[in-house]
Structure 1
Amino acid sequence: MEHIVIGYLGLAIMIVLIFAGVPIAFALGTVGIGGIVMVMGVQQALSQSTLVYFHEGTNFVLIAVPMFMLMGNIANHTGIAAGLFRATANTLGRFPGGLAIASVFGCAGFGAISGSSTATVLTMGRIVMPELKRYGYDQELGAGALSAAGTLGILIPPSLILIFYGVLTENSIGDLFIAGIVPGLLTVVLFSALIIIIATLNPEKAPPIPRPAAKETALSLIEALPILALFTLIIGGIYLGVFTPTEASGIAVVGVIFYGLISRKLTWGAMREALTETITTSAMLFTIILSGYIVTRFIAVTGITQNMIDFVQAMNLGPYQFIIVITILYLILGCALDVFAMLILTVPFIYPIILHYGIDPIWFGIYIVVMAEIALITPPLGLNIFVMNSIAPDITLMRIFKGVMPFVLIELMVVALLTAFPIIALYLVK
């Protein structure tokens, strides 16, 4: 059997395993190692596996993954998220749709220290949903806004997905972090504009809330200072070259622990719980990343990548046409696969092709994250939707999907703007 046939057969088996519910890491590892055995023999498969797991598993850059996760988990136990929402609600609540807009800004702020979409929705949803209900906000709008805004956790740095992409493609994680700032802020502005339009056309869906006293607003703004200081420290230090993203992750953990201690909001129990959550999730992510490298080796030895480049060349597509094709591909995959599976299945093939087209790899990393955001809020998988439903079980999945659809259109608008004006993502990097 020809190597390229083995390669495509292996990919088909991997997709079947993932759709059948086999954990992604096991599906990737099984196909990767099994495929290398068929192409190069058992000895080479064992050698390749050992090299990948040792070399990539000890990659200094990967230390940033558990460290940023630990920072987010500790922050979750220190009340930073609640303080941030109070500050944005007191400032923006008096405007049409102000409380929903405050939730968008709150998600963006918490996402800036959690790096996780699911953690952002889970944390902010528990804080915001009762407030939206209290002030008579439309539940579809509120749940939709929170589900969509939660995706900002993987775009606004530090982002676990950007770290994953950077490690997978050997691109600068610092540059990827910086490139995510402007698209993240653009998404926040467009989400807020959408809420204002909805609230203006249907005031009963998003009424303004009573304006708090100036002193209360000032105090709440002071509560938001720790998260702003932490974000400025991380991104400012990386941008100015004071420290690397990996070093920034360690400094960030020290910073959030320091805040927890001086505010007396971080207990030993909370610290133990944060460490347990970090270890569990990190083990899962590391296994997926390392198994992904095995699959990449398998793809390399079968010659699939060059075959796909030749196929795309034969189609005679231009760069914009190619982006349209892969956008449709990601929309389809996003309906059935989670974010990490999407990246593992596509990046090893698509990345060499985008280099062939001369597309900037940093821009492409931001593009992929925005497409991943859409995958998190589209049916039938839409992980953020299910997280939101677990927080607010009285709102059906169909109502949440209905509420999130306008925000999906906004995300597609962001994709179009990024494609038409790549400088949006690259302005701060260049």
Structure 2
Amino acid sequence: MSTELLGLAGFGVLFALMAIGTPVAIALLIVGFAGTFLLSGFQAAAYTLSGQAFATVTVYELSIIPLFILMGNLASAAGLSRDLFDAAYRLIGHLRGGLAAATILGCAGFAALSGSSIASAVTMGKVAYPQMRRYRYGERLATGSIAAGGTLGILIPPSTGFVIYAVLTEESIGRLFMAGVLPGLLLTSLFLVAIALVTLLTPEEGPRGPVFNLREKLTSMFRATGILTIIIITIGGIYTGFFTPVEAAGVGACFALIMLIARGKCTLRTLWGASAETLRTTGMAFFILIGANVFAPFVALSHLPETIAGAMTGLALGAYGTLAIILFGYVVLGMFIEGLSLLVITLPIVFPLVVSLGFDPIWLGVIMVIVLEMGLISPPIGVNVFVVKSIVPDVKIETIFAGIMPFWLAMAIALIILVIVPEIALILPNAMYN
């Protein structure tokens, strides 16, 4: 069997293992070790397994993952996510679809703390859905806005997706964080436009909420300054060069702890819960990264990336034609495979191919994260959809999938805009680092 066929067989085994319920990290370790053993012998496979495990957990830049996750958990425990939603709710809740728009804005703000799409969807869903149900919002718009808003968690920095992409491709975490800011604002704006169009065509989906007086609005805005301060300190510190991304994560976590103490919610139980959740999420992320770093050498040894690159070049589709096929493939695969898992599985092949076509690797990171976001809400296995389903068990799953379609189309439009105008993603990192 040729090395290329062995590489294809490895991917087949990988997907088969995942299909029968094997955790992604374990599947990557099994296939990576076995493939390297067959191609280079036991000694090379054993060295890869032990060496990559140690190398991964000792990467200084990866300490950003537990710090930002801890920051998000502490901020959630302090009630900062509810404050942000309440501020948006009192400002625009009286408009048609205002509660859904407040949910999107709340998700965008909380995304700048958690870096996780699932955490954003769960946190804002528990806060926003009861209010939308109270004011008789349509189930499609209510659940669709929560599921779609949660996806902003892996685009708006700090983003776990960007950190993993940076580690696997050896790109700058700081540049990727800055590259995600304007696309994140663009996508948030397109989500708000989608809500406006839905409520224009079907007003009963988003009836008007109550009108609050100026004092109530100012009070809610003042309470939201906690979360805004953390965002300004972390993201502003990175942009100005005052903090490295890792230092910003540490400062943000410390400030979130101060807010927890200041609000009188710092109990042993709260700290234990936030710490335990941080450890669980961090452990999962590191385990997947170790598996990816064991799997990647096998892919390189199989020469599969070069073979696929040669085949794609031979089709004479041009750079953008090839990119379109790759992105379409990601959208389809994202319907069945969780986003971050798909990222670590495919990057060893896709990254060198796309960069060889002349595309900027930082811009590519933003594009890939948006495509992964689309997978998070795409049927039949949109992870965020099932997360929302767990929050609102009385709503049918097909209703939630119907509700996310306007937002899915908004993502597709954002993707097209960023392909046509890549400077949207590159202007901030280029200004900061050049």
- For residue 321 of structure 2, what is the amino acid of its counterpart? Q
Given that 2:37 and 2:44 are in contact with CA atoms closer than 8 Å, whether structure 1 keeps it comes out as yes
- For residue 296 of structure 1, what is the amino acid of its counterpart? A
In the TM superposition, residue 29 of structure 1 has moved relative to its aligned partner by 0.1
In the TM superposition, residue 148 of structure 1 has moved relative to its aligned partner by 0.4
Whether 1:46 aligns to 2:35 is no
- Partner of residue 90, structure 1: 90
Given that 2:323 and 2:354 are in contact with CA atoms closer than 8 Å, whether structure 1 keeps it comes out as no
Whether 1:400 aligns to 2:419 is no
In the TM superposition, residue 119 of structure 1 has moved relative to its aligned partner by 0.5
TM-score with structure 2 setting the length: 0.97
In the TM superposition, residue 203 of structure 1 has moved relative to its aligned partner by 2.1
- From the superposition, tell whether residues 4 and 197 of structure 1 become closer, same or farther in structure 2 (CA, over 3 Å): closer
Given that 1:52 and 1:293 are in contact with CA atoms closer than 8 Å, whether structure 2 keeps it comes out as yes
In the TM superposition, residue 79 of structure 1 has moved relative to its aligned partner by 0.5
**1:192-217: CA deviations, max 9, x gaps?**
11111222232222111121121111
In the TM superposition, residue 4 of structure 1 has moved relative to its aligned partner by 2.4
Whether 1:361 aligns to 2:374 is no
Equivalent-residue separation in structure 2 for 1:6 and 1:194 (angstroms): 46
- Partner of residue 11, structure 1: 11
- Partner of residue 22, structure 1: 22
- Partner of residue 200, structure 2: 200
**1:358-399: CA deviations, max 9, x gaps?**
100000000011011101101111011111111111111000
- For residue 196 of structure 1, what is the amino acid of its counterpart? A
Secondary structure in 1 matching 2:190: helix
- Partner of residue 210, structure 1: 210
Equivalent-residue separation in structure 1 for 2:315 and 2:200 (angstroms): 47
Equivalent-residue separation in structure 2 for 1:88 and 1:334 (angstroms): 31
- For residue 225 of structure 2, what is the amino acid of its counterpart? L
- For residue 151 of structure 1, what is the amino acid of its counterpart? T
- Partner of residue 285, structure 1: 285
Whether 1:341 aligns to 2:368 is no
- Give unpaired runs (5+ residues) of structure 1: none
Given that 1:79 and 1:265 are in contact with CA atoms closer than 8 Å, whether structure 2 keeps it comes out as no
Given that 1:84 and 1:106 are in contact with CA atoms closer than 8 Å, whether structure 2 keeps it comes out as yes
- Partner of residue 107, structure 2: 107
Equivalent-residue separation in structure 2 for 1:228 and 1:318 (angstroms): 44
Whether 1:168 aligns to 2:183 is no
Equivalent-residue separation in structure 2 for 1:195 and 1:20 (angstroms): 38
Equivalent-residue separation in structure 2 for 1:51 and 1:416 (angstroms): 41
Secondary structure in 1 matching 2:381: coil
Equivalent-residue separation in structure 2 for 1:210 and 1:57 (angstroms): 51
Given that 1:80 and 1:224 are in contact with CA atoms closer than 8 Å, whether structure 2 keeps it comes out as yes
TM-score with structure 1 setting the length: 0.98
Given that 1:14 and 1:28 are in contact with CA atoms closer than 8 Å, whether structure 2 keeps it comes out as yes
Equivalent-residue separation in structure 2 for 1:429 and 1:222 (angstroms): 31
Spell out structure 1 runs of 4+ moving beyond 4 A: none
In the TM superposition, residue 43 of structure 1 has moved relative to its aligned partner by 1.1
Equivalent-residue separation in structure 2 for 1:197 and 1:300 (angstroms): 47
Pairs aligned (count): 430
**1:103-156: CA deviations, max 9, x gaps?**
110010011101000001101000100000111111111100110011001100
Given that 1:7 and 1:299 are in contact with CA atoms closer than 8 Å, whether structure 2 keeps it comes out as yes
Given that 1:68 and 1:113 are in contact with CA atoms closer than 8 Å, whether structure 2 keeps it comes out as yes
Equivalent-residue separation in structure 2 for 1:189 and 1:176 (angstroms): 20
- Partner of residue 35, structure 1: 35
- Partner of residue 181, structure 2: 181
- For residue 14 of structure 1, what is the amino acid of its counterpart? L
Equivalent-residue separation in structure 1 for 2:258 and 2:347 (angstroms): 38
Query: 5 Å matches for 1:210-229?
Result: 210-229=210-229
Equivalent-residue separation in structure 1 for 2:6 and 2:407 (angstroms): 41
In the TM superposition, residue 3 of structure 1 has moved relative to its aligned partner by 2.3
**1:156-189: CA deviations, max 9, x gaps?**
0000011010111010011111111111111111
Equivalent-residue separation in structure 2 for 1:147 and 1:136 (angstroms): 18
In the TM superposition, residue 56 of structure 1 has moved relative to its aligned partner by 2.1
- Partner of residue 271, structure 1: 271
Equivalent-residue separation in structure 1 for 2:409 and 2:72 (angstroms): 29
- For residue 134 of structure 1, what is the amino acid of its counterpart? R
- For residue 193 of structure 1, what is the amino acid of its counterpart? V
- Partner of residue 259, structure 2: 259
**1:310-357: CA deviations, max 9, x gaps?**
112211221211121012101110111001221122111010011111
Equivalent-residue separation in structure 2 for 1:211 and 1:401 (angstroms): 31
- For residue 380 of structure 1, what is the amino acid of its counterpart? P
Deviates more, 1:73-82 or 1:24-33: 73-82
Equivalent-residue separation in structure 2 for 1:200 and 1:50 (angstroms): 58
Deviates more, 1:388-397 or 1:207-216: 207-216
In the TM superposition, residue 84 of structure 1 has moved relative to its aligned partner by 0.6
Equivalent-residue separation in structure 2 for 1:216 and 1:423 (angstroms): 40
Equivalent-residue separation in structure 2 for 1:199 and 1:167 (angstroms): 42
Equivalent-residue separation in structure 2 for 1:84 and 1:124 (angstroms): 10
Q: What RMSD, in angstroms, separates the aligned Cα atoms of the two structures?
A: 1.0
- Partner of residue 378, structure 1: 378
- For residue 272 of structure 1, what is the amino acid of its counterpart? W
- Give unpaired runs (5+ residues) of structure 2: none
- For residue 307 of structure 1, what is the amino acid of its counterpart? T
Equivalent-residue separation in structure 1 for 2:335 and 2:132 (angstroms): 29
Given that 1:179 and 1:428 are in contact with CA atoms closer than 8 Å, whether structure 2 keeps it comes out as yes
**1:233-279: CA deviations, max 9, x gaps?**
11111111112111111111101001111121222211100101111
Secondary structure in 2 matching 1:395: coil
Whether 1:123 aligns to 2:123 is yes
Secondary structure in 1 matching 2:57: coil
Deviates more, 1:251-260 or 1:309-318: 309-318
